[in-house]
Amino acid sequence: MSTSTATSYLTVRGRQVRYRVDGAGPPVILLHGIGRSLEDWTEQHELLRARYRVYSLDLAGSGWSEPLDEPHTLATLARFVAGFLDAVGVAEPVHVVGNSLGGAVAMQLAVDGPHRVASLALVNSAGFGREVTIGLRLLAIRPLGRLLLRPSRLSARQIVRSLFHDPAFVTPARIEHTLTLAQQPHAAKAYLEIARALGTVRGVRPQWRKTLLRSLAELDIPTLIVWGDRDLILPAAHLNAARTHLPRAQVHLFPDTGHMPQIERAEAFSQLLETLWASAGHTGAGHSEGDRHLSSNR
């Protein structure tokens, strides 16, 4: 990975924001996980841009987007994404795809403004269970959290290895990119703020999860929930909770796949998205029992 992808900058609520846009058609926005960047969506830009207008961005305080002048929380990041959509002139409902933290931001965006969201695709998403990798739980311990986020090539390699099941995806370019992300001057502060807002040393806080899922379940938004069965960050067992809280959602479990199916299973993942988006245009959120459970390709 590198930062050589054609990206642009614009101002959202006084902050410089880095983003990418490709293609023409119904609008799509792709939201990355904690401490990551829009490069996590490179493969999906390439696969989807022939039929959709595809946006991705570095969330506030991540990558090369400036941090907010208020604490980075789920609520402030969702407002930030809404402000981005306004800034790029997307007035119609948009298909929202979120990985990990990005999934929780996508849910909050939908709850805050259901009229903005045509569909949701939640990819190994935060918000469905308490369990999370020990590395994120330790960030809640002061001052250990700041020490753990000190940039090093070793820690960058460990992070990338934790994201993928297939070691072929643990490339020198991805390790270098992850190290570069960690070296951004605002990265550690924003990372710690959102990690501590959402979790403790015991795991993901239940209060915000229960409130968010209860509110989302009341909405009539077509939803797809995707997981990799070898996720080391947020375990695939969370998919059972997702089925319980969002019983109308479609679900898909990728075998032999880690935390980023959008990269590790890029083509199959894009096909799932396009199937969701086609059905969202015709049937709304309601799905029959037979339609809900998509094949896991085992």
How far is CA 272 from its chain centroid? Answer: 16
Across the chain, where does the E strand assignment appear?
A: 8-12, 15-22, 27-31, 53-57, 94-99, 117-123, 199-200, 203-204, 223-228, 250-254
Domain of residue 122, CATH code: 3.40.50.1820
The whole domain housing 50 covers 8-292
Predicted pLDDT at 82: 97
Q: Tokens for 165, please give them.
A: 């099941």
In a domain, 3, yes or no: no
Count: domains in the chain:
1
Sort strands 15-22 and 53-57 into parallel, antiparallel or unpaired: antiparallel
- Across 16-52, b (16+ Cβ under 10 Å) vs e yields ebbbbbbbeebbbbbbbbbbbbbbbbbbbbebbbeeb
Full-model pTM? 0.89
In a domain, 134, yes or no: yes
In a 13 Å sphere around the CA of 283, the CA atoms on its Cβ side amount to: 16
Mean pLDDT, each 10-residue run in order, the chain (298 residues): 72 95 97 96 98 97 95 94 97 97 97 97 88 56 59 90 97 97 90 75 70 93 97 90 93 97 98 95 40 36
Sort strands 53-57 and 117-123 into parallel, antiparallel or unpaired: unpaired
In a domain, 2, yes or no: no
In a domain, 28, yes or no: yes
- Residue whose C-alpha is closest to residue 12's, from 62, 71, 70, 82: 82
In a domain, 158, yes or no: yes
Q: Tokens for 189, please give them.
A: 């502060």
Predicted pLDDT at 188: 85
In a domain, 1, yes or no: no
Predicted pLDDT at 93: 97
In a domain, 167, yes or no: yes
136 bridge partner residues: none
Predicted pLDDT at 191: 81
Predicted pLDDT at 283: 40
Predicted pLDDT at 203: 57
